[in-house]
Every structure is written in structure tokens, then in C-alpha cells.
Amino acid sequence: MDRNYAQDLLHAIERADRAGAMEIVNAWAEGRSFERVVPELLSPTLEAFGVIWSKGHGGVSLATLYVASKVTEDVLARLLAEAKAKGHTHPSKGPVVLGNVEDDFHPLGRKMVVAFLRTEGWEVLDLGVDVAPAEFVDQAEACGAKVIGASAMMYTTAKNVTRIRDEIDRRGLTGRLQLAVGGAVFKLRPELVAQLGADGTAASAVEASALFEGLWKKAVAAEGALRKVPS
Amino acid sequence: MNSLERVLAALQNQPADRPAFFINASLYGSKLTGVGLEEHYTQAHLYAEGQMAIRETFSPDLLISPFFVPAIGEAFGSRVSQRKQQAPNISVYAAASAEAALKLPLPDVDSHPRLVYLRETIRILAKAYAGEVPIFGVLVSPSDIPPLVIGLEAWLDALLFQPEVAQALLDRLTPFFVDLGKAMLSDGATGLALTANLANGFIVTDAVAETLTLPTLKRALAELPGPVILHHGGCPLVDQLARFKGLPNVVAYVLDVDEDLGRARQNLGPGPIVMGNLNGPGLLNHTPDEIQALCDRAFTQKGDDRQFILATCSADIQLDTPPECLAAITEAVCRAGGVEA
């Protein structure tokens, strides 16, 4: 009977067995290219967690998602090491900028999102905690990012999202630079996403890549529309 | 009835003139006194004046020491910085890992300035309201101290991947927790209010809760000579009550926003008080009429359960919340009891 690697990986992560999870990944990759791990094994497993989480957690704790992010980092590390050894470069989905908003010092959620985005092929510029609005936009412009991800845990710091929105608009980048937000406060008060001027959020870190893909497309469409405007 | 009698009635399942209620107005006191936040969170008498102003204005039945748990992290060496619209929060942790935290000296609850500040607020309030209003000292359970000292990520690393190190740190922190809790009670606190997020299945795996954090919590609580309110700390609690039920000295549970009070009673059984379920930070999004409707919904949910205290959940009530929103809660409980606001 064929081994169900995805199920085994799911259970290893649930047990917080980081080393065991990598053994399963490595076993799956025997006789296959390791590059296939992400699309064919890891991503479907993470999606399963995301589905469970979005339906009311179903026993999936924050710690379980944290273990999943650590396994993701392990896979990514091996992937990058192999690519470097072979002189390969992976196709990038594009540069994006992430950080905690000004006055916010809760990095865990952001770090998990960074890990998942990198695994999905995003080129993430991680600015860390307590990032000023202008810094977000400066860095996005410098690296050509079309999406900023801003993380905030509490309402008082989440209000700084409006200052990033203002900075984007002030520089005439509305639409072309999309603003994603995440953090506990947006789960508690989802209406804040629109109220504070953000363009979208995701229910969990594992769903961030899908959100960023959608926002990236919107940014590209906005750029296209701008080019069509007669001068 | 005065507030102490009202709360005791809820505890003893006896009738009261009106439902008891609590608002997390630790931060909001500064709005009423006009005191700057830096002074509010460093000078005990100014904080206490804020709680007194809250009591005078809205008549809640419980008052609290500062809802400022990063102070505990600061006592271990973390750096806190004042925020514009909220309590100070940690900006730099005292250590990078659980192993490093094991080497930190335990703070002296009698001499560290921030701990002295927390305790002094209790002494002032207890003296002012002796026999009239219960005063609760706010702290965190032993398993919730490391996130204030090394950060949540490093603490999850230890709990998940180095359980023996995590247990050693819990064993080291528990006597400090007990000392601080005992000190607050000896200062005059009626009881203690604390979070246990790292024993909640929403945050940690069942294995971590059952082998590390919950056994430590039980041992620590058993050493406290006073009643304890267990606060949800931002995590859903109703489905965790089977796990938390029967903890030593815990007399009340504060639920998360909008959690069902009837289900909480079913899960807890008779005995402890159920507190909830208003959204404290979210009050500013509602009109006073809407808030009264939310209070009425809570009263409907709890039915004839007398072991209930209407309470705001989650974090502090925000500074930009209109006072009318808080007055609406007072009016709702008075209307429910048929007494004058």
C-alpha cells in the first residue's frame, strides 16, 4: 500500500515533530526532484491547515501553525542550498515588503507569513518590527514591490495602517501598490481592514500567498489602466 | 447592596439588587483624570485616582491594578516603551531564549520599581474601598511570563522543541509568580486576575498544555491564598473550559468577546462565576443604544444564572471611546435590576 506522505506530514506537524516532518519530506523526495516538495507535498499540507483554521481552528493551535512555519523554513533552506549548489535561480513571483506597523513589536505572525510567502516563491523584504509608514513605501518603491504586508496585533497600533495608506496615496501609488494587513486585531474586528484603508487580509499565515497573488494582479491591472489613460 | 456584597452574592449564587459588572478601564482612567500616560503608568497614586474616577463615573463593581503585564517583563530586564494611546509595551526582551532566561535573576517583588508601583496601586485602592469594592491584582500565570521576557517565538521554540528547558524555566518562574501573587493579596487585593494563554489549546498543542503549562498552573494556583479570576487573554475560552474547570482557587472565568454565556455555564457546571462577553476595545464602534442591546443580549443568554458578572473582555477600553458608551453599560445593569443608575 502506498504511503500517504501528506497525511504523515500533517500528523508530524501536529505532534510538533519538526525533525520527523523533515524525514517525511526527505523520504517523499527520494527519487524525485526536491523542487517538487513545495507544490506537491508541502503546499497541499499547508492548505489543509488553512482550511481547518478558517473553519474555526478545529483543534489547530497557533503552535501547530508555528511548527508548520518552521518545517517550511527547513524545506526552504534545503531548496535554496540545492539551488545555490547547482547555480540555479528559482523563478520569483515578485518582490513584496513586510513589516510590523509603527509601535508594534509582535513579530511572530509576520515571521510565519514571511516563511510561507518565501516557500511559495515570493521575494520577501522583511523590514522587522516598528516600521514607519514612509519606510514601508520607500522600500517597496526601491525594490519594485507591488504589495506591502503590514502586521499589527492591537487596535491602537493597527490605526497606523491608515498612515501607510496615506503615504501610498500621497505618492500617487494608489492601486499600483496594494496594502495587505494581518494580525489578531483584524480577526477580532474584520471591519477594520476596510476602515483603515487596507486592500485585503488573510485568515491565516498559510493563506497569505493566495492573498498576495490576488493583490499583485490588482496592482498589475491598475498599472495597465494607468498606461491606457491618454496624457 | 454595595459592590462587594453584589460580587459575593454572585459567588454564593444568591440574589442581588442588580447584576454586578466590570469594565476593563485601566487605561481609560487616565482619560478621566487627564493625566499623561507616562505618569499614569509610573505613579501609583495617579493610576489609583483614575480607577477612583472610573468608580465615581460608572460605578463598576470591581476595580483593578494596572492592566500592564509588560511591567512583569520589565522586572526581568525587558525594556518597555510608552505608546501614544495605550499602556507601555515591550520593545526589547531581556533574553533571547529560554536557556538564557534561566540565568536571569528573579526580580524582588518588594523592591523592583515597577512591581512596587503595581503593588502600591492595590494598597491605595484597597484602603479607599475596604469593605465596599473588590480590588483585583492583575498578573499573568507562570507560563505567560516567558513571552514577556524572551518573546512568544522563543517561548514556543522551548515549549515545542526543548520541553525539558521549558519545564526548567516554568519551575524557576513559579516561585516568583507565587511571591508576587501573595504580595498583592497581602497588599489588600481581594483576589487576583490572570491570563493562562500558554495553557489554552488555541495557542499551544494539547501535549504542551497537558504536560507542561497546565500542571504548572495547577501547582502555582494551589499556593495562592486567595481567589483568582482566569481571563481569556485574547483567546477563545468556552471550548477550553473543560480543561480549565476546577483549577485551584479559580472562582471566575472571563470569556472572549461574544462567547456564549449559556454554553460556558454548561461546560463549567455550577460554582464558578462566568464573566463576559462585551467587546471592550470595540465599544467605540457602537452607539450607547447598541451597547445596551448587547448588554441585554448577555442577560438573555445567561438566563436565571445568578453566578454571572457582565464584563468587557479582550484588552483595555480605548481612550477614544465616548464616555456615553460606558455609561450605557451602567444603565443597562441598573435597568436589569430595576434600580436607579
Residue A229: the pLDDT is 62
Please check whether residue B98 is in contact with residue B146, taking contact to mean a CB–CB distance below 8 angstroms: yes
Q: Distance (Å, rounded) from C-alpha A228 to C-alpha A192?
A: 33
Please check whether residue A18 is in contact with residue A74, taking contact to mean a CB–CB distance below 8 angstroms: yes
Joined together, the cell numbers standing for residue B98 give: 529560554
Q: Is the pLDDT of residue A151 over 70?
A: yes
Distance from the Cα of A122 to chain B's closest Cα (Å) equals 23
The verdict on A66 touching B (C-beta cutoff 8 Å) is yes
What is the four-CA torsion angle of A21, A23, A29, A31, rounded to 10 degrees? -160
Q: Is the pLDDT of residue B123 over 60?
A: yes
Largest CA distance in chain B: 57
Identity of residue A72? T
Q: Is the pLDDT of residue A188 over 80?
A: no
If 0-12 CB within 10 Å is exposed, 13-18 middle and 19+ buried, where does residue B237 land?
buried
pLDDT in tens, B69-104: 999 999 999 999 987 788 999 989 999 999 999 999
Residue of B nearest to A107 (CA): B153
The verdict on B212 touching A (C-beta cutoff 8 Å) is no
Q: Is the pLDDT of residue B238 over 70?
A: yes
- Give SS3 for B198: helix
Calculate ∠ Cα B3-B37-B317, nearest 5°: 45
Residue A149: Cβ within 10 Å count? 32
The verdict on B205 touching A (C-beta cutoff 8 Å) is yes
Mean pLDDT of chain A: 88
Q: How sure is the predictor about A1, in pLDDT bands with cuts at 50, 70 and 90?
A: low
Dihedral sign, CA of A156, A161, A164, A169?
negative
- Give SS3 for A65: helix
The verdict on A35 touching B (C-beta cutoff 8 Å) is no
Point out which residues pair with A123 in neighbouring strands: A95
pLDDT in tens, B144-165: 999 999 999 999 999 999 999 9
Point out which residues pair with A124 in neighbouring strands: A96
- Give SS3 for B136: strand
Question: Does the distance separating the beta carbons of B89 and A16 come in below 8 Å?
Answer: no
- Give SS3 for B324: helix
Question: Does the distance separating the beta carbons of B318 and A106 come in below 8 Å?
Answer: no
Please check whether residue B214 is in contact with residue B199, taking contact to mean a CB–CB distance below 8 angstroms: yes
Chains A & B: contacts with CB separation below 8 Å: 73
Q: What is the DSSP letter of A91?
A: P
Question: Does the distance separating the beta carbons of B318 and A156 come in below 8 Å?
Answer: yes
Q: Distance (Å, rounded) from C-alpha B141 to C-alpha B233?
A: 11
Distance from the Cα of B259 to chain A's closest Cα (Å) equals 12
Q: What are phi and psi of B250, to 5 degrees?
A: -80, 120
Chain B partners of A18 at a C-beta cutoff of 8 Å?
160-161
Chain B partners of A191 at a C-beta cutoff of 8 Å?
285
Q: How sure is the predictor about A56, in pLDDT bands with cuts at 50, 70 and 90?
A: low
Q: Is the pLDDT of residue B283 over 90?
A: yes
Altogether, the residues listed in chain A come to a count of: 231
Rounded to two decimals, the ipTM of the complex is: 0.90
Question: Does the distance separating the beta carbons of A130 and B205 come in below 8 Å?
Answer: no
In chain B, which ranges are continuous DSSP H helix?
A: 3-11, 29-33, 37-40, 44-58, 70-75, 98-101, 113-128, 146-149, 152-161, 163-186, 206-208, 214-222, 241-244, 261-268, 288-302, 323-337
Query: Cα A225 vs. chain centroid, distance in angstroms?
Result: 27
Mean pLDDT of chain B: 96
If 0-12 CB within 10 Å is exposed, 13-18 middle and 19+ buried, where does residue B83 land?
middle
Of residues B303 and B82, more confidence is placed in B303
Residue B251: Cβ within 10 Å count? 18
Q: Per-residue pLDDT averaged across A189-202, rounded? A: 93
Question: Does the distance separating the beta carbons of B156 and A59 come in below 8 Å?
Answer: no
First to last CA, chain B: 14
The verdict on A171 touching B (C-beta cutoff 8 Å) is no
The verdict on A52 touching B (C-beta cutoff 8 Å) is no
Joined together, the cell numbers standing for residue B257 give: 468577546
Q: How sure is the predictor about B280, in pLDDT bands with cuts at 50, 70 and 90?
A: very high
The verdict on B318 touching A (C-beta cutoff 8 Å) is yes
Q: How sure is the predictor about A55, in pLDDT bands with cuts at 50, 70 and 90?
A: low
Buried b (16+ CB within 10 A) or exposed e, A150-183: bbbbbbbbbbbbbbbbebbeeeebbbbbbbbbbb
The verdict on B215 touching A (C-beta cutoff 8 Å) is no
Residue B116: Cβ within 10 Å count? 16
The verdict on A106 touching B (C-beta cutoff 8 Å) is yes
Point out which residues pair with B274 in neighbouring strands: B253, B308
Q: How sure is the predictor about A12, in pLDDT bands with cuts at 50, 70 and 90?
A: very high
Rg (CA), chain B: 19
Distance from the Cα of B304 to chain A's closest Cα (Å) equals 29
Question: Does the distance separating the beta carbons of B208 and A62 come in below 8 Å?
Answer: no
Please check whether residue B227 is in contact with residue B194, taking contact to mean a CB–CB distance below 8 angstroms: no
